Amino acid sequence: MNVLEELKKFREMDIPYSRVLSSMCTVSHEIAIKAHQLFINTNLGDPGIFPGTVELEKRLIEMIGELLHCKTPFGYICSGGTEANIQGIRSARNIKTKNKPNIVIPKTAHFSFEKICDILRIEVRRADVDESYKVEVGEVESLIDENTVAIVGIAGTTELGQIDPIVELSKLAEEKDIPLHIDAAFGGLVIPFMDKPYPFDFINKGVTSITIDPHKMGMATIPAGGIVFRDEKFLKSLEVETPYLTSRMQFTLTGTRPGTGVASAYAVLRALGFSGMREIVKQCLKNTKILVEEMSQLGFEPVIKPVMNVVAFRSENAEDLKSELYRRRWVISTIRNPKAMRFVIMPHVTEEVIKYFISELKEVMK
């Protein structure tokens, strides 16, 4: 057997996206794949060799800046939301220079903040959420002290797709003069395209950095995360010198860095435009509604009325249902508190996929 045949065998063991209802990644857009091919050997870690790819990244960041109400954005395309969150918090830590730094995040924050706390040696304080799973701003305030280097708000929580009261968090951040980092890894490319977009971004003066991942709802190829700062000083605080490269300084977390994510993310946003993205988001929200209706007929109620294309349904048997579905090669996920089945209605989760899934779920429930 030749090597490619062997690889195909491994690849066939993977579960196709058409049976995955819980991933925040999706099948890359056709144009993303084509763009990716053109940039497969590029390395943004050595920018002097790739001035064209560097320029493309600059334009992409400007496009993202426009979307996020920031005229002069400073940022880059990275390995994903975790790197983006690390860099957001690291820059705040570096600028605020406290001996025993802490950050205040919502209890609903992504588990990557656990890593960040370990990696950056920062204390993480978790603020409680209200009954709609939005962070309690009063709780955040009470956890802040003189060693707090950042506040985190989430625009599209991983579990429920909820959006924190970022307008209020921003006021608090301004008042206390503490950087406010927004984790919009998922929601950053959903919310701006909704009918009534919640103001989660740089339109709030207190927001200093935003994580926004094109390889999630941006349908770019992996890896394509994004971190954007309002102020250059944050990016500067991450710099180290780079002898023997074509650059002088490097602010990225990684060194070698593919240009594929830049090209594929740019291609999707350029080809679809903001209006095309609106259509995609509209369809995902419509399909989310369809899922809610179908699940309701089976007796499952959502934990909160879906804010975006993420939804969880209460079920005491969530773990068992997940396991049995997985045995049948369907992937959903669960949350623990409250016990629920969790879904992300990405572009590959079509009405057809939902109907097929529901028929399988009925079988499982028998």
The residues in 237-276 that bind its own copies, with binding defined as CB under 8 A, are 240-246, 250, 253-258, 260, 263, 266-267, 270-271
- Window 14 to 33, contacts with its own copies (CB under 8 A): 14-15, 17, 20, 22-23, 25, 27-28, 31, 33
Using CB under 8 A, which of 45, 106, 156, 179 touches its own copies?
45
- Window 283 to 312, contacts with its own copies (CB under 8 A): none
Interaction of residue 36 with its own copies, rule CB under 8 A: yes
Interaction of residue 12 with its own copies, rule CB under 8 A: yes
Q: Which is nearer to its own copies, 50 or 202 (CB)?
A: 50
Output the smallest distance, CB 86 to its own copies, in A: 8
Q: Which is nearer to its own copies, 112 or 209 (CB)?
A: 112
Using CB under 8 A, which of 35, 129, 154, 210 touches its own copies?
35
Mind spelling out the 3-state secondary structure of the chain? CCHHHHHHHHHHHCCCHHHECCCCCCCCCHHHHHHHHHCCCCECCCHHHCHHHHHHHHHHHHHHHHHCCCCCCEEEEECCHHHHHHHHHHHHHHHHCCCCCEEEEECCCCCHHHHHHHHHCCEEEEECECCCCCECHHHHHHHCCCCEEEEEEEECCCCCCCECCHHHHHHHHHHHCCCEEEECCCHHHCHHHCCCCCCCCCCCCCEEEEECCCCCCCCCCCCCEEEEECCHHHHHCCCEECCCCCCCEECCCCCCCECHHHHHHHHHHHHHHHHHHHHHHHHHHHHHHHHHHHHHHCCCCECCCCCCCEEEEECCCHHHHHHHHHHCCCECEEEECCEEEEEECCCCCCHHHHHHHHHHHHHHHC
d(CA 321, CA 334) in angstroms, rounded, equals: 9
Interaction of residue 10 with its own copies, rule CB under 8 A: yes
Output the smallest distance, CB 343 to its own copies, in A: 11
Interaction of residue 94 with its own copies, rule CB under 8 A: yes
Using CB under 8 A, which of 326, 347, 360, 364 touches its own copies?
326
Q: Which is nearer to its own copies, 20 or 173 (CB)?
A: 20
Decide: residue 359, CB within 10 A, 0-12 exposed, 13-18 middle, 19+ buried: exposed
d(CA 160, CA 162) in angstroms, rounded, equals: 5
Output the smallest distance, CB 85 to its own copies, in A: 9
Contact at 8 Å (CB) between 355 and 43?
no
Interaction of residue 181 with its own copies, rule CB under 8 A: no
Output the smallest distance, CB 72 to its own copies, in A: 21
Using CB under 8 A, which of 152, 207, 277, 335 touches its own copies?
335
Which among 6-14, 69-77, 136-144, 295-303 is the span making contact with its own copies, rule CB under 8 A?
6-14
Number of residues that bind its own copies (CB under 8 A): 92
Using CB under 8 A, which of 75, 165, 218, 223 touches its own copies?
223
Which among 52-60, 69-77, 281-289, 356-364 is the span making contact with its own copies, rule CB under 8 A?
52-60
Interaction of residue 43 with its own copies, rule CB under 8 A: yes
- Window 104 to 163, contacts with its own copies (CB under 8 A): 110-112, 114-115, 118-121, 158-159
C-alpha dihedral sign at 65, 69, 74, 79:
negative
Output the smallest distance, CB 34 to its own copies, in A: 6
Which among 76-84, 124-132, 166-174, 353-361 is the span making contact with its own copies, rule CB under 8 A?
76-84
Using CB under 8 A, which of 105, 325, 334, 353 touches its own copies?
334
